[in-house]
Amino acid sequence: MNGSVIACRKSTDPYNIQNWKCSNMTVLLSISIGMIAALMMSRLAKKVQLPAVTAYLVAGILVGPCCLGLLGIDGLGFPTEESIKNLSIISDVALGFIAFSIGNEFRLSQLKKTGKQATVIGIIQAVAATLIVDAALIALHFIMPDKIGLPAAITLGAIASATAPAATLMVVRQYKAKGELTDLLLPIVALDDAVGLVLFAISYGIARAIQSGTVDIISIILNPLIEIVVSLALGSAMGFIMDWAEKFFHSRSKRLSMSIAFVMLTVALSMLHFEIGPVHIGFSSLLVCMMLGTIFCNVCDYSEELMERVDGWTTPVFVIFFMLSGAELDLTSFADIGIVLIGVLFLAARAVGKIGGAYMSAKWTKCPPNVCKYLGITLLPQAGVALGMSLQVAPLGADGVLIRNIVLFSVMILELVGPLLAKIALTKAGDIIPEGRTSARGIVPSKHKGELPKQK
C-alpha cells in the first residue's frame, strides 16, 4: 500500500484477511488522528472564545483532502472524498441521536407554553427565507441568464429554508444555554426539517416541470406529504415500542444500552424506501428519530434520566461527526468567482429571510423582546439537511451541479461562522451566562490530599 504510515505486506491469502486488517487500520488511524486534532483545536478555540463545533469543523478541514490529505498517506488524514463517504454510517448515527435529543424538547408540559409560538415561527421563517432567496436569485437569472438557470434559482430558495440542528444543539449543550430563547429555538429547529422537506419537494417539482415542460403532481405534492406522514408514524411506533422494552430492564447500564440500540435501529429502519407505481415511499431519518424522542420522553417516567445518559455517551460520536463534516467541505469552491458571487447573494438573502421572518413572527406571537431580536441569528447554521437536498437534484444536469456547488459554499461558510453567531445571540439574550474557568480534573491524588488543583 503506497504511502502508508505503517507498511502492509502483500498477502497471498485468498481471503485477503491481511489486506482487510490493513484497511481497518488506516480507517482507525484516520478517525483517531482526526479526533485528536479536533479536541486539540477545541483548546485553541476556547482561548479565543469560539464554540467547540467550529474547532471540530476546522480540524476536519485540516485533516481532509484539501490539506493533510494532499500528502496521500493512508491513515494520516483523509486523502480522498471516497475515504470520507465510507464513514457515512457514523454521520447517519450521529444525526439520529441529534434528532432524538431534539425530540426531548417536545415535552407536552413545555409545548403548552411554547408550542403555538414555535409552530408559527418555524413555518414563517422557513417560508420567508425561501421567498426572499427565490426573489434574489430569479432576479439574478434575468440579469445574468448564463450564470444561473431558473430551475436552479427556484430550488436553491427551498434549500435556504433548512437549518442545521446539529450545530445549534451542540452550542446549546456546550454553554448549557437555558432561557426563553433556548426553549423556543430547539422546537423551531426540529420543525424546520418538516417544513423544509415540503418546500423543497414543491420547488424541486416546479424546477423539473420548467426544465421538462411537464407537471408532475405526484412528485410535487403527494410524495413529500407521504414522507412526512410515514416518518412521523414510524417514529411514533418505535417510541411506544421503546417504552415497552425499557420496562424489562432495571439497571442503568442496560437501560442506556437499550436506548442506544433503539436509536440505531430507528436510523436503520428509516433508510427503507419503496416504490408503488409512480409513488415513492421513503422516510426522513431526522423526522423519524425526532418523533422517537418525542413519544418516548412523554410516555416514559424515566426518560429524562435516560436521555441525559445517552447525551453523555454520544459526545465522542458528535466530535467525529463534525470532524468528518469539516473534512467534506471543498475549499476549491472559492476558485470559481461565479460560484462565490452567487453564493454571497444566496447567503445574504437567506440571512434576511431567516432573521426578518423570525423577528416578524416572534413579534406577532408576542415573544419577549430578546427572543424577537436574537432568534433569527441562531437559525443561520446550515449543513446536513441542505447537503442531502442538494444530492437529490442531479437530474437537473448543469443546474444540479450549480446547486450542489452553491450549497457546499454556503455550508462551508455557515458551519464555520454559524455556531459563533448562535453563541453570541444566546449570550446577548441572556441564555448563556459566562462562567469562570472550570476543569473536569478532580482533586490531586491522595498523596496531596487536602490540596486543591492549581488552575492552568
Q: What average pLDDT does this structure show over 221-233?
A: 80
pLDDT on residue 215: 59
Let me know: does 171 contact 419? Beta carbons within 8 Å.
Answer: yes
Nearest in space to 368 (alpha carbons), one of 185, 128, 138: 185
Q: Which residue has the cell 472564545?
A: 49
Confidence of residue 130 (pLDDT cuts 50, 70, 90): very high
Tens digit of pLDDT for each residue in 240-261? Answer: 999 899 888 888 888 889 989 9
DSSP state for residue 279 in the 8-state scheme: E
CB 122 within 8 A of CB 195: yes
Identity of the residue numbered 272 = L
By CB atoms closer than 10 A (0-12, 13-18, 19+), residue 447 is: exposed
354-366 confidence digits (pLDDT tens) = 999 999 998 898 8
Q: Dump pLDDT digits (tens) for 148-203.
A: 888 888 988 888 888 877 677 778 877 888 888 888 887 888 777 778 777 877 78
Q: Express each pLDDT in 375-427 by its tens digit.
A: 888 888 876 677 667 766 767 787 887 887 788 778 778 877 888 888 888 88
Encoded amino acid at 434, one letter: P
Whole-number Å distance between alpha carbons of 177 and 175? 5
